Amino acid sequence: MSRLARSEKVHVRAPGKLNVYLRVGCLLDDGYHDVATAYQAVSLYEDVRAYPADDFSVTFGGSIDTSALSTDGSNLAIRAARLLARVADYRGGARLEIEKNVPIAGGMGGGSADAAATLVACDTLWGTDLGREELHSLAAQLGADVPFALTGGTAVGTGRGDELSPALAKGQFHWVFALADFGMSTPEVYRELDLHRERHALDISPASPQPTVDTAVLQALRAGDSAMLAEAMHNDLQAPALHLEPRLGKVLELGEENGALAGIVSGSGPTIAFLAADVDSALELQVALSAARLTAVRATGPVHGARVITP
């Protein structure tokens, strides 16, 4: 065991994410869907601190209610640490302390950020030095959004969302997130999407088995043009999320009435992401949403992926 593993802690910060564009392919024989998405990492962060231990454990704190989170072996951060230990043939464990600021079950990849940060933290703590490529491979085994939490920035995801290609993004985009006081089940939203497509089979085009990201989205990101991006944003999961939780429609209307260039359900919801023209517009929108008794936070993107924070 290295001196670092005997005596030090490691602090890693990983970002939440936003799908500025999400196309979902048709239901495949294995019960899954391929997707085409444009991810952007945003400045709502999860902080993971890892300490040497004989076994694996996790505790939570932070700005959001974490009382419902599991702390047993089903927790994604614990699974990440155990997977790394198994692959690296490391015999010890880790005590994880996670400070959460990304909404739970909110469509922003908070659990995935925890897992990505844990991989980096334990790799550093234990001195296993697997390298980014192997960590990316482990991340893909943990969930579709975990590899992006490792890389951050802006990227196109295909397959299950874990096959990443970097995308150029100029400047900074200003976001306001309306956080719900409830979560949504991603599998349930996907099931509702399939039902929605069945109900409207005569009115909508059949989904492609291999969807792609619209070039207008990539052009907007590359130009750093918020107005252009607002026109191009899309999420196939928005309609089923709104069907399951109609109150989200009122939040979308409220944001767009108060200066947002556009609003979109983040991932499978229920978080709503509003794109603002600039920092002043974002601040005004945050105030308006807060006045309506919604929890609203501002963030910018793109930001870096999981990385060690030097004390």
Q: Which residues have a catalytic role annotated?
A: 17, 145
Return phi, psi of residue 23, to 5°. -105, 135
Q: How far is residue 274 CA from its own chain's centroid?
A: 16
C-alpha span between 296 and 60 (Å, rounded): 22
C-alpha span between 163 and 161 (Å, rounded): 6
Is residue 120 a contact partner of residue 150, using CB atoms and an 8 Å limit? yes
Return phi, psi of residue 127, to 5°. 65, 25
Residue type, 49: R
Residue 247, Cβ density class (10 Å: 0-12 exposed, 13-18 middle, ≥19 buried): exposed
Residue type, 228: M
